Amino acid sequence: MTTTATRPGAPGGPQSPVRAEPAARRESRSGVAGLLDLPGNAVRSIIRSAATTPGRLSVIAVGLALLAVLTGLVGTISAQDKKDTINGLIDHREPLAAAAQQVYRSLSDADATAASAFLSTGTEPPALRERYEFDVAQAGAALAKAASDSAGVDEAAKQVDTLAQQVPVYTGLVETARANNRQGFPAGASYLRESSELMRAKILPAAQELYAIDTQRLSDEQETATNFPWAATALILALLAALVVTQVYLKRRTNRVLNVGLLVATGAVIVAILWGAVALVVQGTLVADGKNDGTHQVDVLVRARIAALQARADETLTLVARGDGANYEKDYTNLTLQLVGPDGTGGLLAEIEALASAPDMRGHINAAKDNAVAWLKAHTQVRRFDDAGQYQESVNLAIDVSKPDSAASAFLRLDENLVAAINVGRQEFVDYTRNADRALTALAPGIAVLAVIAAAGATIGIRERLREYR
């Protein structure tokens, strides 16, 4: 049965009936409003509870536990990220930079070797042919490795595409030059010069740019590995401060000097701070040493080797040009000035000698300097023979590795010592960086465990005080 109520209508008019709201609907609306107000009720309840000492202690316990857990989480992630970055430097980033350098070295050596083989009279020497083919195969393998991480870097991918497209064109031109040369056609020299121009104009610049990109990425990750963990440090110092303030508060409220739980929590935080500080200082120092004594010195050595390889190709191509190689000779002079300076005691070799710290590296660099001087001396004699019309004598002195005083022998010894020095530098990088990784051993799980101890200690310590109010 529906109940009605009346409401006044117009003056003197009839009364209008009004339906009353059902009781069930009123209760439903009341329940929804109550649910919507639950957060507000909870906040008001916490505020009322915090007005009492037990309530405040409960809030402090929860806050300390949450802060300890958050600090442990951020600290663990930060420590593990550093460890992962360092392992990435050793296992991924540095090998990729080395692969990019190998692409340049192999292609440049292939160019010089092809020219040396072309200059040989009669049948092409099998050793030179094998070396050329090995250089091309090694460049292909190194390029595949360097390209494996270029997808996310547009400029690196561009250089990889250039190399992938142009190297087959280069090898095709070399084969055409060889075929013409075997038949005694003078066009062989033109094809060889065209292949060398392609190498210098497109291929080697792309390889050098790829190496520069990968070297910069290596340097950037080394910087990342030494970045200071500001967020984790701020949290752990805040946690330590909160624990100290809590103990001072409890002492004033309870007149108790010691609280075992809070002391344990504070001790765990102090251990985490000291452990983390020492580990990070040692790790940062070792990564920096790996950069200064490893990758930086390797970079200078690589630039010296690139200059030597280019100069060697210019030396042989000057002879291939048969009187029309003035530009090659000019390039040779500029590159050797870059390598050893005007008097044979400066340039990149002097720069790396000043930087080198490892005795083995210094030994190889000193030997390389002697090799460079011997090479320059042999080259001077090569030019004298060529300028005097003694072409075959100049060719023999330039490419005959069986003669200890030939330009070819001096260059090979120089290259071997530069490679050995580069390997020493790479090993220095690995040793320092691996030790940096060891400095972070167990730090990430250690921080997590100490954070749990801190949270548990704070909770237990305050719970003991709460029991006194029951």
pLDDT in tens, 410-456: 999 999 999 999 999 999 999 999 999 999 999 999 999 999 999 99
**Collapsed DSSP state (helix, strand, coil) of residue 5:** strand
Give the model's pLDDT for residue 171.
94
Report the number of secondary-structure helices (H) and strands (E) in the chain: 17, 2
Separation CA 378–CA 376 (nearest Å)? 5
- Binned at pLDDT 50, 70 and 90, residue 43 comes out as low
- 53-62: average pLDDT: 82
**If you average pLDDT over every residue of the chain, what do you get?**
86
Q: Report CA-CA distances (Å) from 139 to 84, 151, 152, 192, 285.
A: 29, 19, 22, 19, 35
Residue type, 289: D
Answer left, alpha or beta for residue 358, where phi above 0 means left and psi between -120 and 50 means alpha. Answer: beta
Angle at which helices 53-88 and 38-50 pack, to 10 degrees? 110
At residue 373, the pLDDT reads: 93
Segment 60-93, tens digit of pLDDT: 889 999 999 999 999 999 999 999 999 999 999 9
Residue 16 pLDDT? 47
Does residue 46 register a pLDDT over 60? no
Tell whether the model's pLDDT for residue 28 goes beyond 60. Answer: no
Type of residue at 5 = A
Residues whose CB falls within 8 Å of the CB of residue 112, separated by 6 or more in sequence, listed in order:
309, 312, 313, 315, 316
Half-sphere exposure of 327 (CA within 13 A, CB side): 6
The rounded percent of the chain whose pLDDT value lies above 70 is 87
pLDDT at 7: 46
Task: Give the pLDDT score at 1.
Answer: 42
* pLDDT confidence of residue 354: 92
- Given a cut of 80, whether residue 108 has pLDDT beyond it is yes
User: Which residues, 6+ apart, have CB-to-CB distance to 340 below 8 Å?
Assistant: 346, 347, 348, 349, 350, 369, 372, 373, 376
CA 121 to chain centre: 48
The per-residue pLDDT for 13 is 47
Q: In the predicted model, is pLDDT for residue 32 greater than 50?
A: no
CA–chain centroid gap for 383, Å, is: 45
Long-range contacts of 223-231 (CB under 8 A, 24+ apart): 224/85, 225/82, 225/85, 225/86, 225/89, 225/283, 225/284, 225/287, 225/436, 226/283, 226/284, 226/287, 226/288, 228/280, 229/75, 229/78, 229/79, 229/82, 229/280, 231/74, 231/78
When pLDDT is averaged across residues 26-44 and rounded to a whole number, the result is: 53
The reported pLDDT for the residue numbered 45 is 60
* pTM of the full structure: 0.80
Q: How far is CA 434 from the centre of its chain?
A: 14
d(CA 22, CA 24): 6
User: Over 70: is that where the pLDDT of 187 sits?
Assistant: yes
Which residues partner with 430 through β-bridges?
A: none
* pLDDT band per the 50, 70, 90 thresholds, residue 138: very high
Residue 8 confidence (pLDDT) = 47
Q: Which of 1-15, 83-97, 149-163, 391-405 has the lowest mean pLDDT?
A: 1-15
User: pLDDT digit string (tens) for 346-400?
Assistant: 899 999 999 998 899 999 999 999 999 999 999 999 999 998 889 889 988 998 8
